[in-house]
Amino acid sequence: MKEEPFLVKVSDLGAAATLVACEFEVIRTFRDPSGRIYFVFNASVALDETMNGYFTGVLKVSARKLFDSIKMLKDRIYAER
């Protein structure tokens, strides 16, 4: 039996875009019954460290990469409708 890797669900667009800008791959997206969208990533120590850096305000990310990541995630949201 194949084990599923641990997954992290992120509903914050800024946090998800930051993870994408830091080269983490979105595994899939899904909507809950209330309509909230979630971006799913594979869990890892590096992902946890990046999230902590994002929420504490110490993470540095290229503005261009962040903008491109936001645009890509929004396109993905709207394509899902």
Residue-wise pLDDT for 10-37, tens only, equals 999 999 999 999 999 999 999 999 999 9
Separation of alpha carbons 41 and 64, rounded Å: 22
Whether residue 78 contacts residue 41, with contact meaning beta carbons closer than 8 Å, is answered with no
pLDDT score of 1 more than 50: no
Residue-wise pLDDT for 32-46, tens only, equals 999 999 999 999 999
Fill in the amino acid letter for 52: N
Q: What is the pLDDT of residue 3?
A: 52
Whether residue 16 contacts residue 39, with contact meaning beta carbons closer than 8 Å, is answered with yes
Whole-angstrom CA distances from 3 to 6, 16, 41, 62 are: 9, 25, 16, 35
Is residue 4 very low, low, confident or very high in pLDDT (cuts 50, 70, 90)?
Answer: low
Instruction: List the chain domain ranges.
Output: 7-80
